[in-house]
Amino acid sequence: KQEVTQIPAALSVPEGENLVLNCSFTDSAIYNLQWFRQDPGKGLTSLLLIQSSQREQTSGRLNASLDKSSGRSTLYIAASQPGDSATYLCAVKEGSNYKLTFGKGTLLTVNP
Amino acid sequence: DTEVTQTPKHLVMGMTNKKSLKCEQHMGHRAMYWYKQKAKKPPELMFVYSYEKLSINESVPSRFSPECPNSSLLNLHLHALQPEDSALYLCASSQAAGKVKNIQYFGAGTRLSVL
């Protein structure tokens, strides 16, 4: 059974700092991996999706990498801003079915 | 337009009430999902509809009854709920399974309180 772990569970940084969020998964036979952002009491916003054949994806100040063989993904946020404060979730999809397995998330606080 | 719209935003119901949650998308997606999320936990998949047919039911109690009237709409009918069913209910949609960029787009959720 696939298990997804996110470390750290919470992170507090000063504004402007570059930071890395980590996601690991136990079964490397994934179809893709998706990073989401969730603001308190709100829905999830898709940030980046990396196919199993890809090594990284970039969107603005965000860069996500994927190392399937070691079961790891990282989300790099450059020049963090207070507006980046949210919970970041990673989720893996196994096979071409619909089901996502989510990690428990990292609660990020960026202090002005 | 990547919007998934859920109504209502908040719902309070008694254990004997019948209510429905609604979800709508106009992205041409043929897969729609219901998730349940408790505080400080990740979303848990409940149901998936693919081409308006129920594709996945994650052993959800029968007091939750999904319905997909057409490719743009998804309902979740609620009856005789328990207080432990209080949670944020999220709807999502995506392209059909097997598509390369099968990104799931989520609505803002319905905050349900069962008294």
pLDDT tens profile B76-108:
999 999 999 999 999 999 987 666 667 899 999
pLDDT for position A49: 92
pLDDT band at A1 (very low <50, low <70, confident <90, very high): confident
Are A107 and A11 in contact, with CB atoms under 8 Å apart? yes
Per the prediction, chain B carries an average pLDDT of 92
Residue ranges of chain A whose CB lies within 8 Å of a chain B CB: 32, 34, 36, 41-46, 49, 51, 89, 91, 93, 96-100, 102-105
Residues of chain A with Cβ-Cβ distance to B102 below 8 Å are 32, 49, 93, 96, 98
pLDDT at B63 over 90: yes
Phi, psi angle pair for A48, to nearest 5°: -150, 145
pLDDT for position B11: 96
Of B51, B17, B19, B23, nearest in space to B35 by CA: B23
pLDDT band at B13 (very low <50, low <70, confident <90, very high): very high
